[in-house]
Amino acid sequence: MIEEQRNVENRRMLQSLLADRFKLTLHRETKQVGTYVLVSAKNGPKLEEAKPGNVYLNGIRDNGEPLGPGVYKLGRYVGGRAELIGQGLPMSTLVQLLSEKILNRSVLDNTGLTGNYDFTLQWTIAGESQGPMFKEARYDQQATGTTHPPESPGSSFFTAIQEQLGLKLESQDGPVEILVIDHVEKPSGN
């Protein structure tokens, strides 16, 4: 909750700075746009609920030290493969990753899942999953922490999330709040 309050405060300060420096004025509108709704698949979720105090000895590492819950690792590989590992992640973080990093489209959570979960999701990068993280189809050792790409061709993202996590993304039009720029000027000299 404290982090969310800091994010709101930081956004307000940035908006104030932009309004002052660039004479930026904008307004909010709600539009019906294409979204995804994340729901439980037919046979139910396959996510492993994180246990309080998990040590994650073989989990995500930073400088060789294992990290605890509430972290994720998103990697991409040569050959069009990707992997998302979550440790102790709430559904809200998974939905944010899907929206901002993987699908580049708003995702709404309708799973009803309220816990924190451990999971690994692997898929083949295809046209439907070309979010910002995957614009370059190259191997990213720093993000993945491994030294070689997976060898099997794998499933599309939509198939993988259903088979591996027991979740399903349904496409629909839904209300999304957008910002509309009314006015902006080139900044004057300092």
Domain residue extents for the chain: 2-183
Task: Report the first-to-last Cα separation within the chain, whole angstroms.
Answer: 37
pLDDT > 90: what percent of the chain? 33
81 to 7, 42, 74: CA distances (angstroms): 32, 26, 11
Average pLDDT over residues 154-178: 90
Q: What is the DSSP letter of 134?
A: G
How confident is the model over 70-95, as pLDDT tens digits?
777 878 776 778 888 888 889 999 99
Taking phi over 0 as left and psi of -120 to 50 as alpha, with beta for the rest, 95 belongs to alpha
4-45 pLDDT, tens digit each: 788 888 888 998 888 888 988 989 999 998 899 999 999 999
- The answer to whether 165 touches 6, Cβ cutoff 8 Å, is no
Of the candidate ranges 45-59, 61-75, 83-97, the one whose mean pLDDT is the lowest? 61-75
